[in-house]
């Protein structure tokens, strides 16, 4: 339970609603900032504007997945006026407050570090990344089905990288009947791919492997699908790049060669905002409870 704990939300999208719902269920005292257009189904929460006053007794401040931009602007689909988090707001926060977000840009990190206010980036957590790999995988399947004229079943599929997303994706594609190969470097990854009943190959062989690929899913966040590699693919190959921006594909060359290549957007929030919100709600409510339990112990 979060009884007696003050949680303030600043901005967000559909996912944040699940987190808000959970905090109310757990009896937190909830303040919503930048939710003006939300037709409230939340009887347990109070809507307030972004002022220093409202922040002064906050225990947990929850920002959207991308905390702020480089100027402190916080995105909110529930608010038409811009929300900006500035120095004075940070000054108003109590020392015991913890700020939660998906990932923080340097602006936000600097703002909080200066005042020694702890910042938790949820997307840095391994568990959150693994849970999130499920909606990412389903979104990737959806995009592959939409963007090819063949079935996934029976097609020659390559997954690059056996990280959190790579493993979920390789397993799902294999289960759907694709002929899956996974490219990796680390010997323990090669071993795990083999154990999964899937064909591993070393990334140094990538150029030879892509010559008959129907679909390539990249999860490696640096340039791996270079012009040299793309030149070896059939023109009908479809590349879906799941690595964070700018991806690992030479998109300019792919376009020039007529190879269809897409950088996938943040899929969890698009294909399954409710599940993605529940993933955040589960982790966030646990972290806030732990934060407050620790405080009581040390007090």
Residue 121: CB minimum distance to its own copies, A: 23
The least CB distance from residue 182 to its own copies, in Å, is 17
Task: Give the shortest CB-272-to-its own copies separation in angstroms.
Answer: 5
Q: What's the maximum distance between 2 C-alpha atoms anywhere in the chain?
A: 65
> What minimum distance in Å lies between the beta carbon of 250 and its own copies?
26
Q: From 206, 263, 252, select the one nearest 229 (Cα to Cα).
A: 206
Between CA 259 and CA 15 the distance in angstroms is: 34
In angstroms, the CA 159 to CA 222 distance is: 15
Binding site residues, its own copies, CB under 8 A: 14, 134-135, 137-139, 141-142, 145-146, 148-154, 172, 175-177, 271-275
DSSP H helices in 46-86: 52-55
User: What span, in angstroms and rounded, lies between the C-alpha atoms of 108 and 90?
Assistant: 10
Is the CB of 154 or the CB of 246 nearer to its own copies?
A: 154
Considering beta carbons, is residue 49 or 234 the nearer one to its own copies?
A: 234
Of 7 and 272, the one with the shorter C-beta distance to its own copies is 272
Contacts for 105-112: CB closer than 8 Å, 24+ residues apart: 105/66, 105/67, 105/68, 105/69, 105/70, 106/70, 107/68, 107/69, 107/70, 107/71, 107/72, 108/63, 108/67, 108/68, 108/72, 111/72, 111/85, 111/87
Task: Enter the tokens of residue 46.
Answer: 């109070």
| Token code pair at residue 38 | 């939300």
Q: Nearer Cβ to its own copies, position 43 or 146?
A: 146
As measured in angstroms, the least distance from the Cβ of 178 to its own copies is 10
CB 198, min distance to its own copies, A:
14
Closer CB to its own copies, 111 or 272, in the complex = 272
Select 156 or 291, whichever has its Cβ closest to its own copies. Answer: 156
DSSP 122: G
């Amino acid at each position: 339970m979060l009884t007696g704990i003050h949680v303030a939300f600043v901005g967000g999208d559909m996912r944040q609603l699940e987190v808000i719902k959970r905090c109310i269920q757990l009896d937190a005292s909830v303040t919503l900032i930048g939710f003006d257009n939300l037709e409230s189904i939340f009887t347990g929460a109070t809507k307030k504007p972004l002022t220093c006053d409202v922040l002064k007794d906050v225990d947990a401040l929850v920002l959207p997945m991308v905390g702020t931009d480089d100027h402190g602007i916080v995105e909110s689909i529930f608010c038409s006026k811009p929300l900006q988090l500035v120095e004075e707001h940070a000054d108003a926060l109590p020392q015991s407050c913890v700020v939660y977000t998906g990932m923080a840009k340097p602006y936000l990190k600097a703002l909080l570090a200066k005042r020694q206010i702890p910042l938790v980036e949820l997307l840095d957590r391994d568990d959150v990344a693994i849970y999130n790999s499920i909606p990412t995988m389903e979104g990737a399947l959806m995009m592959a089905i939409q963007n090819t004229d063949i079935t996934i079943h029976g097609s020659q599929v390559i997954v690059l990288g056996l990280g959190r997303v790579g493993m979920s994706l390789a397993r799902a594609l294999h289960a759907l009947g694709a002929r899956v190969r996974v490219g990796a470097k680390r010997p323990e990854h090669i071993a795990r791919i083999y154990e999964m009943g899937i064909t591993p190959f070393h990334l140094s062989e990538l150029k030879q492997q892509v010559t008959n690929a129907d679909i390539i899913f990249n999860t490696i966040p640096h340039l791996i699908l270079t012009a040299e590699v793309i030149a070896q693919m059939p023109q009908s190959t479809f590349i879906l790049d799941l690595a964070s921006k700018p991806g690992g594909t030479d998109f300019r060359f792919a376009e020039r060669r007529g190879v269809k290549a897409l950088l996938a957007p943040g899929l969890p929030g698009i294909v399954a905002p409710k599940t993605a919100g529940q993933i955040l709600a589960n982790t966030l409510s646990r972290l806030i409870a732990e934060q407050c339990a620790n405080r009581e112990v040390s007090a």
